[in-house]
Amino acid sequence: MLFTKVIAYNLLKSVPQISLSSNIIFRQSSNADTLKPVKLSYATYESTTSDRSNQAAPLVIMHGLFGSKSNWNSLCKVYQQKCHPQRKIVAIDSRNHGDSPHSDEHTYAHLAADIKALLEQLGIEKAALLGHSMGGRAVMLFALKYPELVDRLIVEDISPITTSPNLDSMPSLFQAMEGVTLPSSIPMSQARAMVDEQLTKYIFNKPLRAFLLTNLVATDSGSYTWRINIPVLMKNFNNVARFPIVNDVCYDGPVLFVAGKESDFVVKSDYPKIQKLFPNAELTYIEGAGHWLHSEKPSEFLKITLEFLNSK
């Protein structure tokens, strides 16, 4: 995920930082027909007894950088129970994350193409979309490219306009993870403890280390690896650090931007420009929350998003 100033430390002084002070400065390839989607891993949450003909559009959720669909398990269960009318909930792993395939390409255009392919695979004609951080920008681009496929949109703590200066430290975070070494054939508990000790030298925030450790997996040979594709994410970091240039498009369906009051990823001055892309966008802040709204303030996040999802 893209992190707040609370945890975005200057991790490795030897790694040069990247200036991200400008706004939208480059264009990503956007022709979905020329992009090769990957087959995303996903988890579904739905009632086996309710009448599907009376259900609202499914809710598709995409995590942020370093995340996975499992981060959303608890919230997905609540959404499935408390959306009225009921919605099928689909939590997805982005390419190069979780259980989805690795790929040499990682741009928002590719992520949008992956979502489109998944909707076609599942026979979903129109979906509500919720995305956090990287996932938020992916679903924004999807809505701009394919508005006819989107019922409504929820964007968690990310803007299509400005980029948080806290992303300057992200290359150092990749470097810290890539530098981890472990012996083979040791228990997972021991491996996690050893990795945590190595990361402590560079990442001082314990919850952040614990979150990154959810990506540590054992291979069939008994060795350990990161399930996220660190080399590709490092190479393509600029592709996720900024929202791609879009011209003469908008999504005029209902959109909710939910931001953390303690985060600097969505500044109020962005709102007029956001409305040019999303004319019916609402912007609300959660007090005392940073970048990870859904984990820091889950009750407040659920209340706000459920009200939006259940509105006519």
Closest by CA position to 260, among listed 240, 284, 278? 284
CATH class of 32-165+243-310: alpha beta
Average pLDDT score over residue span 11-16: 31
Residue 129 has phi, psi (to 5 degrees) of -120, 140
Bridge partners of residue 206, in order along the sequence: none
pLDDT band at 172 (very low <50, low <70, confident <90, very high): confident
Q: For residue 65, which of 249, 232, 271, 303 has the smallest C-alpha distance?
A: 232
Look at 29-38, 45-54, 64-73 and tell me which has the smallest mean pLDDT. 29-38
- C-alpha span between 263 and 254 (Å, rounded): 24
Residues pairing with 283 in the sheet: 257
Q: How many CB atoms are closer than 10 A to CB 63? A: 28
Q: So what's the pLDDT on residue 21?
A: 27
Q: What would the pLDDT profile of 68-124 be if each residue is shown by its tens digit?
A: 999 999 999 999 999 999 999 999 999 999 999 999 999 999 999 999 999 999 999
> What's the confidence (pLDDT) of residue 34?
72
pLDDT for res 22: 27
| pLDDT for res 164 | 87
Residue 21's Cβ-count burial label (10 Å; 0-12, 13-18, 19+) is: exposed
| Single-letter code of the amino acid located at 38 | V
Name the one residue in this structure whose structure tokens are 């395939």: 101
CA–CA dist 76, 62 (Å, integer): 11
- Asked whether the beta carbons of 229 and 99 are under 8 A apart, the reply is no
CA 295 to chain centre: 13
The reported pLDDT for the residue numbered 2 is 38
Domain residue extents for the chain: 32-165+243-310, 166-235
- The set of residues, in sequence order, having a beta carbon less than 8 Å from that of 150 and lying 6+ positions away, is 126, 127, 128, 129, 142, 143, 251, 253
pLDDT at position 171 is 83
Residue type at 254?
P
pLDDT for res 19: 28
